[in-house]
Chains A and B, each alone.
Chain A
Amino acid sequence: MFNRWEDLCNVISLRPLLPAVGLPTPVLPTWCLILYFLDIFHNMDFSIRPATLEDCKDIARMLLELAEYEKVLDQIKVTQKDLEQDGFIKNPFFHGIVAEVPEEHRSKEGHTKVGYALYFYSYSSWKGRAVYMEDLYVMPEFRGKGIGKALMSKVAQLGLAAGCSLLNFSVLDWNKPSLDFYLSQGCSDITADMGYHCMRCEGDELEKLAQGGT
């Protein structure tokens, strides 16, 4: 946002109006600038929509950014092609939604797709249909504008529409900003509250298990 010098110039061109509002000319430009930028923060336009095949390139880009944030970049095996094959078939393994901003608010590198959520339908043997939010991510320069909340709200809406009564997801214990955000949205940490631990069996262990080894 701060590299849009043309926006700044437009603000500065308000200078001729300054005497009309009765404020000293030297003070107003700064005041105008502050208000203008606060206004950009509050009123940034964005839209949330279902992901399409064409979005897989940007989703792949952003999931690598998320993996880097979570310090696990070396664990990524999924490619853009996998996302296309697994998410856009007749019975997809996941669903996606994307947050988009207008061209004039594009990122420093020129991206307009600035956030995403990946989710799929799961099942609770206690409560029935559930939705699992696998990824929720907003690019750092677009945070603090309600995009994350809007993405999560959309997943909740879609889950409820599909008859789900539960939304589950996982958060890393050191990720304090995310932990605080989710707790403020009425979520509960069931690892802390109920002692449930996430377990995994993969690779060689999974092969051994399939062969009946103990």
Chain B
Amino acid sequence: MDRFKLRKAEPQDVPDILRLIKELAKYEEMEDQVILTEKDLLEDGFGDHPFYHCVVAEVPSEQQNSNNNGSVVIGFAMYYFTYDPWIGKLLYLEDFFVMKEYRGFGIGSEILKLLSLVSNTAVKTRCSSMHFIVAEGNQASIEFYKRRGAADLSLEEGWRLFKIDKSSLLKMSSGPEE
């Protein structure tokens, strides 16, 4: 597998990005949780003020599903910039996935390398760190990341990730101010 290419995602990649998001969610046994649509992805990633950035990995297409330039998208990474008021700008890796049949060829490593370059060298976005989450049952991914020097903050420092979903958000936002 020596002919893969990494590039910045474009609006026409949105259907492939959603396909891969769903494949990753399926891998995490959470496929029914994906409610995002192609329209959301287009508006949120390619408007004036994008909520996320994306890189895609593509290979020349042998048969089906090729895009305009005879390639098929087989991997992606979705990321955005966050802020830690203790250390400054960070790159947050939201999704990172390579289709099963294309693993083991170094594509994932190249994507991570590209993201590290983005975070480390881009003048405007010089980041101190890259953060992401991994499910504790996903041993293969945890080993992949630990080999590359990632630290498990939940284990090492005791951080627990919390969420509030929309219905609780609505309740909270209309709560009385005391």
Interface residues of A (CB under 8 A from B): 48, 59, 63, 67, 72, 75-78, 82-83, 86-87, 91, 93-94, 118, 120-129, 132, 134-135, 145-147, 149-150, 152-154, 156-157, 159-160, 164-174, 179, 182, 185-192, 194-214
| A63, A93, A145 interface centre (most CB from chain B within 10 Å) | A93
In this complex, the interface size class of chain B, counting residues with CB under 8 Å from chain A, is 35 or more
Q: Which B residues, 116 to 158, have Cβ-Cβ distances below 8 Å to chain A?
A: 116-117, 119-121, 127-137, 142, 145, 147-155, 157-158
| Contact residue among B120, B163, B175, B178 (Cβ-Cβ distance under 8 Å from A207) | B120
- Please tell me if the beta carbons of A160 and B173 are within 8 angstroms of each other in the complex: yes
Can you give 10 contacting A-B residue pairs, CB < 8 Å?
A125-B21, A152-B172, A160-B166, A167-B163, A168-B162, A192-B160, A200-B131, A202-B130, A207-B120, A209-B112
Residues of chain A with a CB closer than 8 A to B44's CB: 123, 128-129
Residues of chain B with a CB closer than 8 A to A126's CB: 21, 25, 30, 33-36
Complex Cα distance, B164 from A205, in Å, reads 32
- Please tell me if the beta carbons of B159 and A86 are within 8 angstroms of each other in the complex: no
- Among the listed stretches B1-9, B64-72, B81-89, which one makes contact with chain A, having 4 or more residues with CB under 8 Å of it? B81-89
- Please tell me if the beta carbons of A165 and B86 are within 8 angstroms of each other in the complex: no
Indicate whether A185 sits within 8 Å of B172 (C-beta atoms), given known contacts A134-B83, A202-B128, A210-B116. yes
Q: Which B residues, 46 to 84, have Cβ-Cβ distances below 8 Å to chain A?
A: 49, 51-52, 78, 80-84
Complex Cα distance, B162 from A152, in Å, reads 13
B17's nearest neighbour on chain A, judged by CB, is: A125
**Chain B binding surface, main DSSP class:** mixed
Complex Cα distance, B126 from A86, in Å, reads 11
Residues of chain B with a CB closer than 8 A to A159's CB: 169, 173
Residues of chain B with a CB closer than 8 A to A187's CB: 162-164, 168
| A63, A147, A156, A179 interface centre (most CB from chain B within 10 Å) | A156
Indicate whether A201 sits within 8 Å of B86 (C-beta atoms), given known contacts A156-B173, A207-B120, A214-B109. no
- Please tell me if the beta carbons of A118 and B116 are within 8 angstroms of each other in the complex: no
Residues of chain B with a CB closer than 8 A to A128's CB: 35-36, 40, 44
Complex Cα distance, B82 from A135, in Å, reads 12
Indicate whether A199 sits within 8 Å of B94 (C-beta atoms), given known contacts A94-B85, A172-B159. no
Indicate whether A72 sits within 8 Å of B86 (C-beta atoms), given known contacts A123-B94, A170-B159. yes
B129's nearest neighbour on chain A, judged by CB, is: A202
- Please tell me if the beta carbons of B153 and A200 are within 8 angstroms of each other in the complex: yes
Indicate whether A196 sits within 8 Å of B134 (C-beta atoms), given known contacts A126-B21, A150-B177, A167-B163. yes
Residues of chain A with a CB closer than 8 A to B163's CB: 166-168, 187-188, 190
Indicate whether A200 sits within 8 Å of B83 (C-beta atoms), given known contacts A187-B162, A212-B113. no
Give the Cβ gap from B116 to chain A, nearest Cβ, in Å. 4
Residues of chain B with a CB closer than 8 A to A190's CB: 161-163
Please name 4 further chain A to chain B contacts, defined as beta carbons within 8 Å, in addition to the given A126-B33, A201-B130, sorted by A numbering.
A129-B51, A186-B172, A187-B164, A206-B119
Residues of chain A with a CB closer than 8 A to B150's CB: 199-201, 205
9 tightest A-B contacts by CB? A146-B178, A205-B149, A202-B129, A210-B116, A186-B168, A173-B158, A197-B154, A156-B173, A195-B136
Complex Cα distance, B95 from A165, in Å, reads 18
Residues of chain B with a CB closer than 8 A to A149's CB: 175, 178
Complex Cα distance, B157 from A165, in Å, reads 28
